[in-house]
Amino acid sequence: MDNNHLSANVQRGSRILLAGATILLGFHLIVFLVYAFNLMNFPFDYDQGEGFELVDTVLFSQGEWPYRDTEQFPFYSSNYPPLFHVIAAPFVWAFGPAYWYGRLLGTVGTLAAGAMIGYAVYRETQHRWIAVLSGLAFVGSNTVYHIGPLFRQHMAMVVLETAAVVILAQVNEIEAARRRRWQLAAGLGLILAAGYTKQLAAVTALAAGLFLFIRQPRRAIVWGLLAAAVGAGVFVWMNAATGGEWWRQAILANVNEIKILQTVALFQQWIGLHGFLIVPAVIVVVHDLYFNRLSIYTVWFVAATAINGTFSGTWGGGDSYFTTSIAGLCILSGIFAGRTLKGSWRFPQNYLTRWLVDPLRPAAPALMTAGLVIVPLLYLGYGRAVLHMPTEGAVFSTLASVFSIQPNALNGFYDSARTADGQYATGYANIGHLVTQADIDAGWRIVEMIRAEPMPVLSEEAGFSLMAGREVITNPTQLLNLEKKGLYNGTQLIQMIEDRAFGLVILRAQFYPAAVLVAISTAYEQVETVAMNGFQYLILRPK
């Protein structure tokens, strides 16, 4: 067989493997959409805290701030920045309080982030197929799958961060001053918007600022000061408008201690799930460092992995803190794949080129041929590593049977991040499965209990009270955040509990401060347990 015939066969085999990877990652997209649709039809909290995101949205729709004094009835405050809830507020005017539109926004944001990742890879490599695979790889990640369709502000932050990074990636190469200024303003404006969506976006601000400073120090300082002035102005205005509660509730209460064991466990899990893409991404980082100019994608990926990954071990953190890093990971691994398939790697002469690269140049054709096979195998390996799917239902049950996939999570769901007995890393979200009609029925049963109770109700999750048309009292996780910083007293709430002022208390995770839980256990007794979505909701009435 001559070399031309061999090359044609390898290219044909490469395309077949790429098609297989596309089918596998496309399957993950279908699972994501099934999950999103399932959650949009679930009218209660699926993940802890979704209901309070909805409460914030309702308050903004009424022209009110959610940053309030937690010592005064109804003891409610938020620790989330406002932008996501402001964007969702018009839906409240049209449809009232509901979860589906926040979940729809999260779903659209996830798909948009995947599209931006694909665009970034295509712009860098001009390889359409790899661009598609890069976007699908983002949506296919277990972590992205979990957080994407939820009524949470996290994915809105990530899509704004990704858009900002893509806009700023080539801004210094724009010769037309007017266009460059507009693009700088757009990129930095999106970073500010991301920061006022969730505080974790600070890492993207740091990465973008460092990248711009490396390329053009004077321009970076001038524009950085302008962006800082705008951000600080908004901050001061919000703090003044809320009587200082913005600083107290969203900043001071969010600084939590790091649990090193949780951080280590989540890093191990991140590597185990994404290792097939981490290796090529790291190769691009090394290449940029020694043979090319640092790209914003490299700086962003390294910063997000190091900083957000470390903070994943905090109280309130978790695997979702890796989402920004995964976006950068998918771009860099896509650049590796596109360069490899197109043979567009460049190694300018330096001491490392002479020592490490030049001796390999005679083998370049063989390495190019190997790359045609290795690249699709990386995406196939990744698709298998992050496999997650329902194992019940007409199509999914057949696939599970054919491939011998056994459920290891709730409601017949398989998640590769878990062990066969359903165990998972500390800090890994216990979500991803589909909900059932039995879960919906159980939620409405709790709502009917609230509707039948004439006295105020203290519910650990806000959704039940919202669906019952009752006032939401307290945000337990925020009270706990404040208590951990010595910023919460709780005298009035504890007094109301001791006075049996609540006709019903509903607990799930018991995330209230210890003094509140002691008061509840003293004045109330459990009369019933309702199982919903894998959790036991404790129904308590006054003793």
Nearest to 507 by CA among 481, 539, 480: 539
Is residue 88 assigned to a domain?
Answer: no
Same domain, 161 and 251: yes
**DSSP H or E run through 479:** helix 476-484
Is residue 300 assigned to a domain?
Answer: yes
Nearest to 296 by CA among 369, 208, 383: 208
Look up residue 174 and give its two tokens. Answer: 């724009």
For residue 414, the cross-strand partners are: 389
Sheet of strand 504-507: strand arrangement: 457-459, 504-507, 535-542, 524-532
Look up residue 440 and give its two tokens. Answer: 């919906």
Rg (CA), the chain: 25
Look up residue 176 and give its two tokens. Answer: 């037309």
Is residue 401 assigned to a domain?
Answer: no
Q: Measured between alpha carbons, how far is 79 from 70 in angstroms, rounded to an integer?
A: 11
Number of domains the chain contains: 2
Angle between helix 260-291 and 323-342 (nearest 10): 30
Q: What is the DSSP letter of 97?
A: S
Same domain, 218 and 366: yes
In order, the DSSP letters of 456-498 are -EEESSHHHHHHTT------HHHHHHHHHTT----HHHHHHHH
Is residue 384 assigned to a domain?
Answer: no
Are 106 and 149 in contact, with CB atoms under 8 Å apart?
A: yes
Q: Measured between alpha carbons, how far is 125 from 342 in angstroms, rounded to an integer?
A: 8
Q: Measured between alpha carbons, how far is 304 from 270 in angstroms, rounded to an integer?
A: 13
Look up residue 302 and give its two tokens. Answer: 């390294």
Same domain, 344 and 448: no
Domain final residue pick, 338, 359, 378: 378
Are 82 and 67 in contact, with CB atoms under 8 Å apart?
A: no
Look up residue 320 and give its two tokens. Answer: 């979702």
Same domain, 373 and 518: no
Q: Measured between alpha carbons, how far is 108 from 110 in angstroms, rounded to an integer?
A: 5
Same domain, 145 and 259: yes
In sequence order, which ranges of 292-363 are alpha helices (DSSP H)? 296-303, 309-311, 323-342, 351-352
Q: Measured between alpha carbons, how far is 180 from 359 in angstroms, rounded to an integer?
A: 41
Q: Measured between alpha carbons, how far is 480 from 488 in angstroms, rounded to an integer?
A: 8
Q: Measured between alpha carbons, how far is 450 from 457 in angstroms, rounded to an integer?
A: 7
Is residue 28 assigned to a domain?
Answer: yes
pTM of the model: 0.95
Are 444 and 425 in contact, with CB atoms under 8 Å apart?
A: no
Q: Measured between alpha carbons, how far is 445 from 449 in angstroms, rounded to an integer?
A: 6
Same domain, 280 and 137: yes
Say how many CA atoms lie within 13 Å of 151 toward its Cβ: 31
Is residue 341 assigned to a domain?
Answer: yes
In order, the DSSP letters of 237-306 are HHHHHTTTHHIIIIIGGG---B-HHHHHHHHHHHHHHHHHHHHHHHHHHHHHHHHSPPPHHHHHHHHIII
What is the torsional sign of CA 281, 283, 287, 290? Answer: positive
Same domain, 340 and 460: no
Look up residue 404 and give its two tokens. Answer: 């011998």
Same domain, 122 and 252: yes
**DSSP H or E run through 531:** strand 524-532
Same domain, 369 and 235: yes
Q: Measured between alpha carbons, how far is 524 from 458 in angstroms, rounded to an integer?
A: 12
Is residue 54 assigned to a domain?
Answer: no
Q: Measured between alpha carbons, how far is 463 from 165 in angstroms, rounded to an integer?
A: 35
Is residue 161 assigned to a domain?
Answer: yes
Spacing of C-alpha 58 from chain mean position:
23
Same domain, 349 and 481: no
Same domain, 174 and 322: yes
What is the torsional sign of CA 220, 223, 225, 230? Answer: negative
Same domain, 341 and 446: no
Query: Tens of pLDDT along the chain (543 residues)?
Result: 445 555 788 889 999 999 999 999 999 999 999 999 999 999 999 988 899 999 999 999 999 999 999 999 999 999 999 999 999 999 999 999 999 999 999 999 999 999 999 999 999 999 999 999 999 999 999 999 999 999 999 999 999 999 999 999 999 999 898 999 999 999 999 999 999 999 999 999 999 999 999 999 999 999 999 999 999 999 999 999 999 999 999 999 987 888 999 999 999 999 999 999 999 999 999 999 988 889 999 999 999 999 999 999 998 888 999 999 999 999 999 999 999 999 888 888 887 777 877 777 777 778 788 889 999 999 999 999 999 999 998 899 999 999 999 998 889 999 998 765 556 666 677 789 999 999 999 999 999 999 999 999 999 999 999 999 999 999 999 999 999 999 999 999 999 999 999 999 999 999 999 999 999 999 999 999 999 999 999 999 999
Q: Measured between alpha carbons, how far is 97 from 463 in angstroms, rounded to an integer?
A: 9
Q: Measured between alpha carbons, how far is 303 from 307 in angstroms, rounded to an integer?
A: 6
Q: Measured between alpha carbons, how far is 15 from 12 in angstroms, rounded to an integer?
A: 5
Range of the domain at 520: 437-542
